[in-house]
A and B are shown apart, each in its own frame.
Chain A
Amino acid sequence: MLFEPDHYNEEGEFVVNMGPQHPSTHGVLRLKVWLDGETIKKVEPHLGYIHRSIEKMTESLSYRQFIYVTSRMDYLSAHINNQVCALVVEKALQVEVPARAQAIRVILAELTRISSHLLWFASIGLDLGGVTPFFYAFREREAINSLMDENCGARLTQNFMVPGGIMKDVLPNFQQRVKEVLKQFKDNYHEYDEILTGNVIFQNRLKGVGILTKEDAIAFGCTGPTARASGLNCDIRKLYPYDGYEKLQFDEITSTGGDCWARYEVRMAEMKQSVKIIEQLIDNIPEGEIVGNTKKVIKLPKGEFYQRVETARGELGVYIVSDGGTTPYRCKYRSPNFANLSAIPHIARGHKIGDLISIMATIDLIIPDIDR
């Protein structure tokens, strides 16, 4: 098997298939890697192992139903995926979303972001060979998941959005529970720094590895923390505010390094910004309606609609073409992971096998979002 031409060509390159079943690809991504000893000469991603044709399915689902399929795209940002679909319908119908619904949406979206970044923190430790950070991060993530479970009825795929607002009002103890979760997070945050950030081995594994320049980030269409670590201002919450983000005080975290370490730092700092956003809102959730004025059967006017949000991994766009009926004529998602993945072959070249793992870990891919 080792000497089949496909695996070992004339130049003596060693071709290894990382995936579709591999511990560090976080799903069914297959990377075909050409090796020269330990050094990577070329990487070729192969997609499609978890393609479920979500975009085509959407064409036969009503505007109330198609929201919930998107929970299965980027399952760690399920709430934010639902939000973009709700927003695009609201934008097309020009429905006003009640202030209470907006505030709860943003709180839950930021909790989702924290929980997603916590899982990323857990898995970066795991990918680089340290198992302990995983359990530290999951302790806090568990608290967030329980909170989601109480209020949305699900831990991971929340399905809490409806066009025009949210499905149900939150529980009376929502504010107190969110504060508890935030307090636990803030009390334990220093442990993350102690176990990973300050570790010399960990820093050496990330610093100067997989440098993505600002120009490349733009060229590959990278967004989210991956692009912000290269110095690109691309936070949709700042550039195209939605659901009342324009009224909130928070910083867009950018770094200029562009290497894995910069991406690590950006994500770690973003968690703190999310906490800041929630703290501004949690005591000032307005009273009132939770759903705007929408009809039972939603029909979008004829035309094309686009809406984007900032998920935990970057810009998620939804593009809907409507022919005036009850289902979309065509639907297309612009997923952040697909664009971010395209940067990997470029930045991994010339590095070691271990570096490919750090690069994949810091770019933080969610494979179902790539294939959809």
Chain B
Amino acid sequence: MHTWLKNAIPNATGLLITEMVITGVILLVFLILLAFFLGYMERKVAAFMEIRLGPNRVGPKGTLQIVADTLKLLFKEGFTPDAADKFLFNLAPGIIITTALLAIAPVAFARDFQIWDINIGVLYISSVSSMAVIGILMAGWSSSNKYSLIGAMRSGAQIVSYELSIGLSLISIVILSGSLSLNDIVESQANGWWILKGHIPVVIAFVIFIIASTAEINRAPFDLVEADQELTGGFNTEYAGMKFAMFLMAEYINLFVVSAVAATIFLGGWMPFHLGNLTGFNHIMDFIPSSIWFFGKTFFIIFIIMQFRWTFPRLRIDQLLNLEWKYLLPISMVNVLLATLMAIMGWHF
């Protein structure tokens, strides 16, 4: 496609802009569809766990239910409270969804299929995703609602704390693979995914990453920011219509991003499953397209995180912070030390 465009548009800047626009539009459409699908999947997973059927009226097997819901939200009034800080109030959903979209750039969806091959991919993702807290704080503060304010304050404490564990668990893999680039990390798993190589620090890092990223994206059991039974909706209490839908969409995109990152870093991204010297078996595995490998792994992790939500009750705010500062953070620090030791001594393979 690049060469075809190059022939059509001789100007280099024009070419770059055209390519960016095309990529952006494709990505947006893809992510909206993805958010739709995740919304549908969440309802079905919830129904499956709660001995009920879930959506089954609109469209075949209820697949269009989420479209109907979006249409409903589209036609609702985009209400802004009188007492709200109008500029920040309307800016906040944009910021949240932008940070969610930015984080997806360096993720490799399949072999040689990446929007932006940046050599500090891991660093980029962890820094961009931590910016979401600004949007949440902005939304909670500008709503001029007490519940929103409490929710926003909680999110400040929560996301900033769990950011540390996520960073440290990613670093242990960075140390072992020796690169910050997501592509290199995937390549380093060509002869076995990190999680299956049997390194203890990797397993610990994986568990910590899953827990901390559930907290990072404010999903149950760490959804204190919303905590509808306590705060009637938390930071987005005052939002309605499309602005609310943007929060919802950002939540699902964030869910996809953390699962994709976990799949890339711990489960080998698009790398097929290979077993030692069984050449025949490995060839069969290679025939499965790499994008299917990537999405299979991602959705596996999404499925796990969704099960958390429908199984566990919510933590209390002090228990949440205790979990991070007393358990997860010390464990991940020791874990990074272990990983470093392994890397220095050359014990890993």
Contacts and interface: CB of A to CB of B under 8 A. Distances in A.
Interface in A106-137: 125-132, 134-136
Contacts of B223: 129
Interface string B208-240: 000000000000110110011111100000000
A88 B151 CA distance: 50
B83 interface: yes
A171 interface: no
Contacts of B317: 38, 352-354
Interface-centre pick from B227, B230, B311, B319 (highest chain A CB count, 10 A)? B230
B230 A354 contact: yes
A24 interface: yes
Given A2-B144, A136-B51, A195 B232 contact: no
B228 to A, nearest CB: 6
Interface-centre pick from A1, A196, A202, A355 (highest chain B CB count, 10 A)? A1
A301 to B, nearest CB: 50
A16 interface: yes
B146 interface: yes
A204 interface: yes
Contact of A130 (B227, B230, B232, B312): B312
A23 B228 CA distance: 7
B146 A7 contact: yes
Contacts of B153: 37
Contact of B220 (A24, A129, A196, A204): A129
Contacts of A37: 153
Contacts of A130: 220, 310-314
A190 to B, nearest CB: 15
Interface string B300-328: 00000000001111111111000000000
Interface residues of A, number: 35
B150 interface: yes
Given A2-B146, A132-B49, A23 B312 contact: no
Contacts of A2: 83, 144, 146, 149
A205 interface: yes
Nearest to A123: B229
Contact of A201 (B46, B144, B154, B312): B312
A242 to B, nearest CB: 37
A135 B314 contact: no
Contacts of B224: 354
B2 interface: no
B146 A201 contact: no
B147 interface: yes
B57 interface: no
Contact of B313 (A7, A139, A201): A201
A126 B147 contact: no
A136 B228 CA distance: 21
A205 B316 contact: yes
B50 interface: yes
Contact of A23 (B150, B229, B319): B229
A357 interface: yes
How many interface residues does chain B have, given as a range? 20 to 34
Interface string B139-157: 0000010110110011000
Interface-centre pick from B50, B51, B154, B313 (highest chain A CB count, 10 A)? B313
A14 interface: yes
A303 to B, nearest CB: 48
A135 B51 contact: yes
B229 A357 contact: yes
A129 B220 CA distance: 8
A129 B150 contact: no
A24 B316 CA distance: 15
Given A16-B146, A202-B313, A354-B316, A129 B51 contact: no
A128 B150 contact: no
Nearest to A35: B150
A129 B149 contact: no
Interface in B117-168: 144, 146-147, 149-150, 153-154
Contact of A352 (B83, B313, B314, B318): B318
Given A130-B312, A201-B221, A353 B144 contact: no
Contact of B314 (A128, A136, A355): A128
A135 B52 contact: yes
Nearest to B83: A1
A284 interface: no
A22 interface: yes
A24 B146 contact: no
Interface-centre pick from A7, A127, A131 (highest chain B CB count, 10 A)? A131
B251 to A, nearest CB: 16
Contacts of B319: 201, 204-205
Contacts of A249: none
29 contacts: A16-B146, A16-B147, A16-B150, A38-B154, A38-B317, A128-B313, A129-B220, A129-B221, A129-B314, A130-B313, A131-B50, A132-B49, A132-B50, A132-B310, A135-B50, A135-B51, A136-B51, A139-B51, A196-B313, A201-B221, A201-B315, A201-B319, A204-B316, A205-B319, A352-B316, A354-B224, A354-B314, A354-B317, A355-B316
Interface of B: 46, 49-52, 83, 144, 146-147, 149-150, 153-154, 220-221, 223-224, 227-232, 310-319
Given A7-B146, A205-B315, 12 more contacts: A2-B83, A14-B146, A22-B232, A38-B150, A126-B229, A129-B221, A130-B220, A130-B310, A130-B311, A130-B314, A139-B51, A352-B318
Task: Give me the 5 closest cross-chain CB pairs, A-B, nearest first.
Answer: A129-B314, A128-B313, A130-B313, A135-B50, A354-B316
